[in-house]
Structure 1
């Protein structure tokens, strides 16, 4: 997803192309199709406006190259997505595998993590840090202190810490007495300090002498004595000791650790440029000079703020990591607000990826040099968001610093094939069967790893088109596409009485661009432009600039204007073009080869070492140094790196490897076009050339992706063909009445319950589903799944539901619009055909049918009857079914003679006894068909739970050519419905 961070993007973290395990059981040999299931409800056929919107969505998917399903004949269902923003919960999965939740908003006590600082070459001072067990254990292996000495030393340090704490509590009183001239207290304090000095153990003295020499060791002990005797003095009042040069880094580290442990961090050590160690007094903890003046003091002023890198290291690092929880807001919207409240530039904040707006999400964010208590104070000013889970760390977050996301999705108003006329209980039972089977296939097989529609923008000219023009060198054309606006939107903006449901921001954008294009004046255009349109703002500001002294202008500096767009956003355009090419090619690959691994397919180098023999590094082209170590190359800063790993290397499989059975479809990757990738050495490699050379592909050459402008010089990357969710996929079928009924609990609700506070009003629904009298219960499906960081939930739902997802988008008058992620026609509409359809409001017909039934008989009894030559034994409309004469049974061509005289010859295309499905096509017909072709599939599933347990769920689908009219489709539905009733009678006969 896009980021609009104000800082330049850091080199991206290596993407995990984790090897998926082979599926549990054989992967079904699925036939591919661009036309899956029919619309499930008869209601759709009476809503032409809704159907037009659905077809518009299909057109969007087709333009993005999203055309194929992995299991097109499997049953699906329809549902409404994101009717409430609490219907879509997203929680990041951390690199450790833990699912992130907002579990607290409290500020942790500020800890002095000195052990973190000690890991560095130049340890920082930690004033008055009390010794810990880890300090004692941090001794180097060659230290002259044995285990018993360490234990004894720990006991001594603990007692010293207790004495020190007691003395600290009485210190103010002593200072008053000293100021009054009572020298007795001073002498007693000095006596205690002298005794404390004498406590430096013989083992410690010996260690100091071995590290620094006898003279320096004595000076260090003397310095410690002075510090104890004069606790109120500043560090600069004491002398500095410089050791001899210590060339060995390990020895220097041992010295830092030893001094810190022995003297309870009252003495600071710093490595000089020549390798010597400078030893000096550390700043007293209660010194106001040690306070970071850029940060406000804590309420009781008892704990000083960190100052400089050393102070931040004491906290744990310069970056505060925290959990950002938000509801119905953009990631950048909330981060910008937090930055403005803290008076910081947006570049101080980093995150692993943006999250959906219409959702409830939890993600990690890092902030540079921000204190937890300062950030926590923002909570009372945040609306629709909370921060918590604070932790200081040495480094910030980068894009891709997560394992994935966990989704908890509620789909409302769900409908299922064959539900018409059923009672609510029957619908629920059918829902459990359909969803259970869909989830089972989804878990076992997965989905094509398409880039989702979010990647391609929401305006008429997609981001991929802009990226294509940038790659072609048509920078003026790219800018014109970015600055394009619809005349209809402008007309609505200029008409105060317009009732068009267009957002105010879109209207303001159109007005601003109109002013720019008609006047060429940037100031009035920028005044009208909403802040959220960053690309348009950057371009207009650059092209409209005038040097007041010289009068110089730059109205045609196209590259300069594009270069002013924030880098992440600028790269989004060319990445979108790469995504389009990948989507198109992966669909072609699945149509050609399905789940087969073939020679020339690509796998990631080093990911399958157990399957490779011989000298892997040498054979795969990896570079070794003269000692045999693998060379890791630095970041390619001159490339427009994609979110996929720019360092990943791929190789082509030989025919023998492909046929060995060692590799499966989950191992195969396809490249995003670039100058540093390999292309498949089979027919798929040619698909890249064919598509990119076409008009739609921009007439580009996949072998020529270097450009003079670095930001459009694409190195490429690799992406797995097939994706599968994590193993924790679950679902629940629920009934409800009220649309505002809350189905799941959010992190904030759990936190509020835990603390005893009332749940936020925005979350409240009728938990009991109470509704007005006469309201009918509806069905909802709650899905829980985990996806990788580069996988799209919308594409997973598309495969799971077979295109039945309808995204709820409230307009500005409260009337919902529905956009369907539904099936595609075999021949997508052209712009003209779609416009003609819209003008005539013709209801578009589906090119597929799907009928289903639950047969009260065991799977074996039903499957026994599913043989093409035996259909006449149970189908009342068939008079005869037999193998065609003069052909063997192996040819699988069967003649069907219907009772009305129609004769068909059907050919079995696929058959699986293991997965219980059969696919057939019509090869001849008398009388002739009125359409070109149809391919049908019958699938049988065993019902494993519920009241129908032990029975059989069966689907019968048909995918027709695009010239089949509505009459053909309706006739096919009716005949299949009758045939399934006949099959049920035959299977249940005793």
Structure 2
């Protein structure tokens, strides 16, 4: 086989900023490292410095509106996930779940009157209201009712038997009453059997406190083994300008379940319109469907039953529809060449700026401190005042720095600052235990710091690989996947695909618990025989994310990993401490493709006049029949009786699919030949 050149002749182009040394410096004469933090994190600071082609770019604005960035998940079957229907699944129409059929179709007035004789008016009315709530199909949480205090054990037995005989969808148990001498019968809705809130396998009653189960939590009626279909319900979650935690938090609150009950394959950008699959355990579809009238910026649809829930990484990728507004260019031919070039030549598969945090403290800086074992320094960096933050939050941090009042800081610190609050709550219980405070941060968030440093090294390594050897061919010493060990599509190979969004951290931490143990694919070092046979192309080249189970290229690229880590006071072969999760030698590591080309690539130029008009249809627009500005005809503005025609502007709309963990912003960077940070600026009015 001859050597194939996927990209044709070399079209390598470097940004003006060369690969920069680490932003971290470590004094060799002192155990305390010093940090040099850029005022504003830019791409060269994290190793993003090269382009694939020398085609000229142009100016355009990304994400002026959140609908300019549309993300649709691609599931494991390769299907693009869309919101297309609000209808209930046919199974819900044909078959009512156990409990609902009994409670909806029967008239319980006679039974309630019999119960009134046994327990009195107050308890009878409470039971009546509970039955009405169940029959209405309300999306509100169906809380248990606690009957009046009763010290007569025989009478309580009669009550239990009454419910067992007349209501197969209720379970009852005995809980402690409002005082030490009395007990109460608790009545709870179940889809068929006692689930986790009733009797346990040994037949012993669960005795809890007044109004709670034995563990002190609210009763969850979803544990029935008699659920008639798949144990999980899957739905398509459509959200506008909301992150995963916020959207599922709202839905969970309405359903009365914890956010961690939801499963999903990956997170999407907050400032976007996104559609993705979500699963939840034994929540009736009707309870989900009726939420749509009360949800703002969120919709639920395409509901169905499935046997298994989703976990992180179970996707093939994401399809993007991206609109660049206010395009300024000398000729449309330049846009045509650049847009065609992106589809033909692809882009360098850098980790985007999102990977390193949106705040003023880059996450890879904290990761480096953790690798060095400087626990107090890491805590201080997370808690201390920082430039560019909201004034109110900055003041809270400053007060804490001055007086160390943990209670005051917790009272005033926003709840979305998950890491800070977790640290403070631990320090309140264990003053001075900085390592324990760091471990109190939800696992996915604290691991984000160390993964970010891995990504930081990887970005610098790929820039050196491109600068040193170009992109037209594979060279001796490169790493490639073995042909018989290629990763399955949809499998995330680099350590974590989760971007640095602390608001999602708690949710992701819960979801990641069910991920299977990571298994790395086999890679090989390219030799002269591979080159002569033309067995591989530049598209096959991968680079490692540092860890204990990876190998490094057998060429000059390997040196940059060790050199940069050494400058930061970190060894890639020996740990500075015994805390495994903050030790790079205890991490598995991973591999990531150097080059990425968009799939299903399309583009079109659009003329528009109003900066705030939608230029791309979302899933919700299609369902509701809403048209975009591009489809409207003869649009004009009338002022004081005279017709004013707004100045026509140019936009570029792109559509393409990328695998998990590839950043669409890096594709846009290649297209515009400018920083993705600059492209995200607002249009000037």
TM-score normalized by the length of structure 1: 0.49
Q: Deviations over 1:679-730 (max 9, x none)?
A: 1111111221112112xxx12222236963232232100000101111x211
Whole-angstrom CA distance in 2 between matches of 1:332 and 1:656: 51
1:775 Cα offset (Å)? 3.3
What is the aligned partner in structure 1 of residue 450 from structure 2?
Answer: 574
1:605 maps onto 2:478 in alignment: no
Asked which structure has the greater CA Rg, the reply is 1
What is the aligned partner in structure 2 of residue 94 from structure 1?
Answer: 75
Counterpart secondary structure, 2:456: helix
1:767 Cα offset (Å)? 5.9
1:357 maps onto 2:234 in alignment: no
Residue among 421, 434, 438 paired with 1:558? 434
Where does 1:508-657 land on structure 2 (aligned, <5 Å)?
508-545=392-429, 554-595=430-471, 596-607=473-484, 646-657=519-530
1:782 Cα offset (Å)? 0.8
Comparing 465-474 with 643-652, greater Cα deviation is found at: 643-652
1:576 Cα offset (Å)? 0.3
Whole-angstrom CA distance in 1 between matches of 2:241 and 2:49: 30
1:771 Cα offset (Å)? 4.3
Q: Deviations over 1:2-53 (max 9, x none)?
A: xxxxxxxxxxxxxxxxxxxx988652212342239xxxxxxxxxxxxxxxxx
Whole-angstrom CA distance in 2 between matches of 1:582 and 1:287: 66
1:481 maps onto 2:381 in alignment: yes
Residue among 654, 668, 692 paired with 2:565? 692
Q: Deviations over 1:366-411 (max 9, x none)?
A: 1122221112222122111101111222221111111111111111
CA contact (8 A) 2:476 2:525 kept: yes
1:646 Cα offset (Å)? 4.3
Whole-angstrom CA distance in 2 between matches of 1:644 and 1:797: 34
Counterpart secondary structure, 1:679: coil
What is the aligned partner in structure 2 of residue 402 from structure 1?
Answer: 315
Q: Deviations over 1:518-560 (max 9, x none)?
A: 2222221111111111001111111123xxxxxxxx2221111
* 1:26 to 1:533, Cα distance in 2 relative to 1, 3 A: closer
* 1:294 to 1:102, Cα distance in 2 relative to 1, 3 A: farther
Whole-angstrom CA distance in 2 between matches of 1:587 and 1:663: 20
Q: Which has the higher contact order (CA 8 A, sep 6+)?
A: 2
Q: Deviations over 1:554-575 (max 9, x none)?
A: 2221111111111111111000
Where does 1:460-475 land on structure 2 (aligned, <5 Å)?
460-475=360-375
Whole-angstrom CA distance in 2 between matches of 1:655 and 1:532: 53
CA-atom RMSD, angstroms?
3.6
Where does 1:718-797 land on structure 2 (aligned, <5 Å)?
718-726=591-599, 728-753=600-625, 759=626, 768-771=634-637, 773=644, 775-797=646-668
Residue among 301, 306, 309 paired with 1:388? 301
Residue among 222, 225, 228 paired with 1:310? 225
Whole-angstrom CA distance in 2 between matches of 1:541 and 1:307: 32
* 1:58 to 1:543, Cα distance in 2 relative to 1, 3 A: closer
1:69 maps onto 2:54 in alignment: no
1:343 Cα offset (Å)? 1.8
Residue among 570, 590, 603 paired with 1:717? 590
Whole-angstrom CA distance in 2 between matches of 1:388 and 1:31: 45
Whole-angstrom CA distance in 2 between matches of 1:346 and 1:415: 44
Whole-angstrom CA distance in 1 between matches of 2:254 and 2:79: 31
What is the aligned partner in structure 1 of residue 216 from structure 2?
Answer: none
Whole-angstrom CA distance in 1 between matches of 2:450 and 2:73: 27
* 1:474 to 1:336, Cα distance in 2 relative to 1, 3 A: same
1:472 Cα offset (Å)? 0.8
Whole-angstrom CA distance in 1 between matches of 2:252 and 2:71: 23
* 1:741 to 1:766, Cα distance in 2 relative to 1, 3 A: farther
What is the aligned partner in structure 1 of residue 572 from structure 2?
Answer: 702
Q: Deviations over 1:659-684 (max 9, x none)?
A: 32110111111000011111111111
Whole-angstrom CA distance in 1 between matches of 2:385 and 2:39: 20
Counterpart secondary structure, 1:701: coil
Q: Unaligned 5+ residue runs, structure 2?
A: 18-37, 107-164, 172-186, 193-219, 487-511, 639-643
CA contact (8 A) 1:740 1:765 kept: no
1:57 Cα offset (Å)? 10
What is the aligned partner in structure 1 of residue 91 from structure 2?
Answer: 110
What is the aligned partner in structure 2 of residue 437 from structure 1?
Answer: 337
1:669 maps onto 2:569 in alignment: no
* 1:329 to 1:809, Cα distance in 2 relative to 1, 3 A: farther
Whole-angstrom CA distance in 2 between matches of 1:783 and 1:375: 33
Counterpart secondary structure, 1:311: coil
Where does 1:150-165 land on structure 2 (aligned, <5 Å)?
none
CA contact (8 A) 1:326 1:384 kept: yes
Residue among 32, 42, 47 paired with 1:60? 42
Whole-angstrom CA distance in 2 between matches of 1:574 and 1:469: 9
What is the aligned partner in structure 1 of residue 146 from structure 2?
Answer: none
1:79 Cα offset (Å)? 0.4
CA contact (8 A) 2:41 2:362 kept: no
CA contact (8 A) 2:190 2:221 kept: no
Whole-angstrom CA distance in 1 between matches of 2:631 and 2:340: 31
1:75 Cα offset (Å)? 2.1
CA contact (8 A) 2:356 2:452 kept: yes
* 1:358 to 1:109, Cα distance in 2 relative to 1, 3 A: same
Where does 1:158-307 land on structure 2 (aligned, <5 Å)?
288-290=167-169
CA contact (8 A) 2:312 2:515 kept: no
Counterpart secondary structure, 1:110: helix
Whole-angstrom CA distance in 2 between matches of 1:641 and 1:434: 48
Whole-angstrom CA distance in 2 between matches of 1:482 and 1:561: 11
Whole-angstrom CA distance in 1 between matches of 2:167 and 2:482: 57
Whole-angstrom CA distance in 2 between matches of 1:601 and 1:466: 31
Counterpart secondary structure, 1:373: helix
Q: Deviations over 1:51-75 (max 9, x none)?
A: xxxxx9996111111011111x212
1:469 Cα offset (Å)? 0.5
CA contact (8 A) 1:645 1:718 kept: no
* 1:765 to 1:518, Cα distance in 2 relative to 1, 3 A: farther
1:816 Cα offset (Å)? 5.5
CA contact (8 A) 1:742 1:767 kept: no
Counterpart secondary structure, 1:729: strand
Q: Deviations over 1:141-167 (max 9, x none)?
A: xxxxxxxxxxxxxxxxxxxxxxxxxxx
* 1:789 to 1:371, Cα distance in 2 relative to 1, 3 A: same
What is the aligned partner in structure 1 of residue 242 from structure 2?
Answer: 329
TM-score normalized by the length of structure 2: 0.70
CA contact (8 A) 2:544 2:589 kept: yes
Q: Deviations over 1:60-113 (max 9, x none)?
A: 111111011111x21222101111111111111111111111001122243699
Whole-angstrom CA distance in 1 between matches of 2:515 and 2:588: 8
CA contact (8 A) 1:100 1:363 kept: yes
* 1:291 to 1:648, Cα distance in 2 relative to 1, 3 A: farther
* 1:59 to 1:593, Cα distance in 2 relative to 1, 3 A: same
CA contact (8 A) 1:598 1:659 kept: no
Whole-angstrom CA distance in 1 between matches of 2:15 and 2:317: 29
1:84 maps onto 2:69 in alignment: no
CA contact (8 A) 2:383 2:397 kept: yes
Where does 1:491-510 land on structure 2 (aligned, <5 Å)?
506-510=390-394
* 1:484 to 1:23, Cα distance in 2 relative to 1, 3 A: farther
CA contact (8 A) 2:348 2:595 kept: yes
CA contact (8 A) 1:539 1:562 kept: yes
